[in-house]
Amino acid sequence: MRKAAALLIYLAEADGPVAREVAATLLWPETDEDAARARLRRTLYKIRIAFGSEVIAASGTSLSLHPALSVEVDSRVFEHACDVGPLDEAADIHKGDYLVGFSLPDCLEFEEWVFFRREALRSRLVQALERLVEAKIAGGEPRSAVVQATRLAALDPLSESAHRHLIRAHLAAGDRAAAERQAETCVRLLRDELGIAPDSATLALLREPTRDTGSDVPRTRYVDVDGVHIAYQIVGSGPMDIVLVPGFISHVERVWEDRSCRSWITAVSRLGRLILFDRRGMGLSDRVGARPTVEATARIFWRS
């Protein structure tokens, strides 16, 4: 019944009807078309028997959840909370990675779909936690900021940006010792795992805790384009806009961790307003539930 569960999950996440051929190929990729469609029919029958009613509306060409059903999908509720708030609710909903522990090893297309969906939701969680930490510090709730920043750092222990959020939260809470321990953890992880030293802005937080000494690293912001959140930074304020188009892999915050890149960005920003961004599906931008195509990336770029 795992494939029956996978079919229900896929239909619940779909924005509309799913073609029978798509569902059959997704769940029985190594089977010929006629056999795959036959197995799909048997699976639909098993689902109807298990629930004792029609939960899937099936036509000759497509499948969807029955319109009479009232369905609440956690992933959709989470995304809605990320979009409109409250962010505390979004953080509470995302308890673990999407479909953790559920897999269909013989269905590579389904596994790939789960991977991209999982990455998209994790990306939204990172964004929500960053915004939540900033809001809690600004709103005079540093202890809550520490809780959320701790979770943020645990999501990606090699993210220097996440460590900075946690250091700031500890300092805002008046716990300098905890901030120093977190800085030491950051230094150790970056040295042992990546062979690099932390950016000077990270350590500067401890030298001047009364002000945001990391302000020379621009704040990461997000723009919503066709429902996809694109991470970007703006450096400088000259009369000319300069857009830095990233390569295949990018991360707008980690680029500052490389001193040569940092120096180059600083020099270019003297010529005008330099705009850095992560392509959809990369860095801090949303994962999009599928492989990012050249056409989709170009549309996001021009809309941004």
pLDDT digits (tens, 9 = 90+) for 223-282: 877 767 788 888 887 778 888 888 767 777 777 767 678 778 888 888 888 888 888 777
Last residue of a domain, one of 171, 193, 215: 215
Residue 195 backbone class (left: φ over 0; alpha: ψ -120 to 50; beta: rest): left
Domain count along the chain: 3
178 and 260 in a single domain? The answer is no
State yes or no: pLDDT of 37 exceeds 50. Answer: yes
Amino acid type, 195: G
The pTM is what?
0.69
Which among 215, 298, 194, 216 has a CA at the least distance from the CA of 265?
216
| The predicted structure's pLDDT at residue 208 | 56
* Same domain? 273 vs 299: yes
Gyration radius from the chain CA atoms: 23
Residues 163, 31 within the same domain? no
Are 150 and 227 within one domain?
no
Residue-range definition of the domain harbouring residue 34: 2-65
